[in-house]
Amino acid sequence: MKKAIFLLIVLAFFLLYYAGVFTKKETLPFSKEFFSIESPDSIDRRWDFPKSASLGPKELEQLYQLKLDKGIRNVPILSYFLIRESKQALREGDADRAVRMTLYSVKISPDLPQPYFELARALWKQNPFQLPQILSEVVKGEMAQFRHFPSSLKLFYNLFYFLSNAILMTFIVFGIVIMVKYFPLYFYDIRKNLTQEMSRLLINSLKILVLLIPFFLRLDILWAFFYWSVLLWGYVTKREKQLIILFLIVLVYFPFFLRSSSAFLDGPSSDILFEIHQVNHEDGAKGEADRLKAWLTTHPDDAEVLFSLGLAEKRQGRYLEAEEYYRQAVQRDTRFSEAFSNLGNVYLARKQTSSAIASYQQATDIDPHRGAYYFNLYRAYSQETFLSGKIDKTFQRARQLDPQLIDYYTNIDLPNRPPNFNRLVIDEVLTPRRLWQRFLEQFIGKEGFLFRLFKAWFEKIPSRFPFLAPILFLGLLMGLARYSRSKRFLTRCPMCGSPTYRFYLGTSEQEFICFNCHRIFIQKEKLHPKIVEKKSLQVKQFQRENHLISRFLSFFLVGFGYLWREQVYRGLFFLFIFFILILRLFYWEGAMPSSFPSSHSSSWRWIFWGGVFLLFYILSVRHLYHLKPKFETEVERTRGLR
């Protein structure tokens, strides 16, 4: 029991140290103090809404129509104001008003995920039996998280953050298990070969000295555990060797990409991405446009920034400035079909119908499968009386390609309202897919993904010396692997725990069993009863200790029992899932902070994730609790049969 408690203390200490508990600072790659997914302008807003407002159906409809007049896809600040009003209505017991507020919140910002979740909550309060509609809104909200670029970026980063740290924590446990199991053999080998011969003394002194190298180099905890695992290469099993190699790959790439992505998202390139998204998909303020113009001073050939500035100027009614930006965009990228289409919209707004038609036709030539281009061309044809024969044909082509979009723009062009150009034509925006493509291109760089994979092996690792890189540890591993082929190493008998050389290489149950256990329990030789009794007692004590350690520590670290019993793949899998769930509960709002107010129901999320964790914990521990010791003596088998 003492060994189990000691091992628990060691595991808890190093896991908490990795999490930064003792250093009072989260260690990389565990640190989450990187960045916010919102632009600085949106952070400064702090979402301070008016304390109260009287919004009836008429006022809500007026706000929605004003949003359509401005040609803006999403108005987040207004949607969150309506969400706040919905929550207030629920507290007052007015579920119908809450549903009305959240419905308009969705209409005003259809790309945001939060309004859908709040609508589902309001529908539940209104009538819990309308379950299909409630689930439909939840599904729409989940889908919106992938369509909305900032939300999807937060989602994927949080996922990568949890997966990376969970697998690194799993390998911390793996490294500790390797050291606890095989360091006694390492020291036993030193004691056994301890003589007064000068050569032996030097070799044994060197063996002790190399253990202290991580302290001299001030390696961080992960690389220190990997170094000691490699040092024990000759003692570990074949499966454990495979996992040590995997340990190296994990150490090289996961921290590297976590640091790289964090540094990128904290830099100016990612800020511009969010500015571009806000100008294209939200109510981009003057601050966003000014920052995009400042970016152009150092990146004058950025066609997507030019396109975004053209869109912002067009929405403000400054058509000459918009035309200039769109012209520059198509000059930089002659295949930029969205820019050609929007340039046609500017021409059409300035009554230059022939130029608009030419621009739309260029857009359709580049991408003939976009219904919006044909719809805009249909609007331009409608301005020319002599082109009446092409009007219907072009409109039908547009409806054929994208019926939902065409019906939407046809319906919002109301005949009883004053003409509005933002309702007349479709302004193209940079899609989330294109923003993700830009993100990956800038993150990977011009050299390409394979170069970054290669570069990771030469990155500096946390240590005292700047020249230490993963490639040196790869060389160490290869050298020790080659050395271990020509030397016999001790192993521990899986039955009695005695150090032994690897004599018996039969079936998996007989593998590396010591000479005495092989004679007594495998070959069933008739030896002296006292010898058999002594060996049986040794086997019983060793098996009981191993069983106690695996069972006791499994209550604190699910999957540890499998790892201790040398079911390494199963053990690592269960530990990995366990750490993912722990991190999910610990970082409730995720690793990446957001300036958006949370609109989810925390109680339901706690119930769901808490239930998943509890179910996983109970089933895993229950299975491990019923496992029996790996080996039993003949006396124990006889008792079991009785």
CA atoms within 13 A on the CB side of 565: 24
3-state secondary structure of 478: helix
The verdict on residue 367 lying in a domain is: yes
- For residue 428, which of 409, 400, 403 has the smallest C-alpha distance? 409
Residues 593 and 479 reside in one and the same domain: yes
Question: 429 and 291 in one domain?
Answer: yes
Question: Are residue 243 and residue 357 in the same domain, yes or no?
Answer: no
- Does residue 21 sit within a domain? no
- Residues 509 and 538 placed together within one structural domain of the fold: yes
Q: What is the pLDDT of residues 153-189, one digit of tens each?
A: 988 988 898 899 999 999 999 999 999 888 888 888 8
Q: What is the DSSP letter of 386?
A: G
Mark whether 273 and 390 lie in a shared domain: yes
| 452 is a domain residue | no
Give the pLDDT confidence score for residue 143 in this predicted structure. 93
Residues forming a β-bridge with 152 = none
Three-class SS string for 106-131?
HHHCCCCCHHHHHHHHHHHHHCCCCH
By the 10 Å C-beta count (0-12 exposed, 13-18 middle, 19+ buried), 524 is classed as exposed
Both tokens of 375, joined, read 């719809």
Q: Is position 453 within any domain?
A: no
Count of the separate structural domains present in the chain = 3
Query: Which residue positions in the chain have pLDDT lower than 70?
Result: 1, 21-54, 194-196, 284-286, 385-388, 415-416, 502-512, 593-604, 627-642
Q: Which two tokens stand for residue 169?
A: 């924590």
> What pLDDT, on a 0 to 100 scale, did the predictor assign at position 48?
45
- The count of residues in the chain is 642
Distance CA 303, CA 307 (A): 6
Asked if residue 28 is part of any domain, the answer here is no
Residue 93 lies in a domain: yes
- Residues paired with residue 500 on neighbouring β-strands, in sequence order: 491
Give the closest residue to 169 by CA, choosing from 562, 464, 581, 463.
581
User: The domain that contains 381 carries what CATH number?
Assistant: 1.25.40.10
Domain endpoint, select from 377, 410, 442: 442
Taking CA atoms, 590 is separated from 36, 156, 170, 238, 421, in Å, by 11, 11, 20, 38, 42
E-state strands within 446-590: 491-492, 499-500
pTM: 0.81
Eight-class DSSP state of 195: -
Give the range of the structural domain holding residue 316, as residue numbers without chain letter. Answer: 268-442
Backbone angles phi and psi of 492, in degrees to 5? -100, 130
pLDDT at 29: 46
Residue 457 maps to a domain: no
Residues 418 and 485 reside in one and the same domain: no
Task: Write down the residue that tokens 């002659």 correspond to.
Answer: 334
Residues 6+ apart with CB under 8 A from 161: 32, 258, 587, 590, 591, 592
* Rounded Cα gap, residues 588 and 608, in angstroms: 13
pLDDT of residue 387: 59
Q: Are residues 404 and 487 in the same domain?
A: no
Query: Both 278 and 379 in a single domain?
Result: yes
Same domain, yes or no: 169 and 316: no
- The C-alpha torsion from 405 through 335 and 292 to 38, rounded to 10°, is 50
What pLDDT was estimated at residue 521? 75
315 and 223 fall within a common domain:
no
Q: How many CA atoms lie within 13 A of 7 on its CB side?
A: 28
Same domain (yes/no): 434, 567 = no
**499-500 and 491-492 beta bridge pairing:** antiparallel
The pair of three-digit structure tokens given for residue 640, joined into one six-digit string: 């079991």
505/578 same-domain check: yes
Residue 341 has a CB neighbour count (10 Å cut-off) of: 28
CA distance 628 to 328: 74
Q: Could you tell me where the beta strands, DSSP code E, fall in 242-400?
A: none
Is 635 part of a structural domain of the chain?
Answer: no
In whole angstroms, what is the distance from residue 81 CA to residue 59 CA?
14
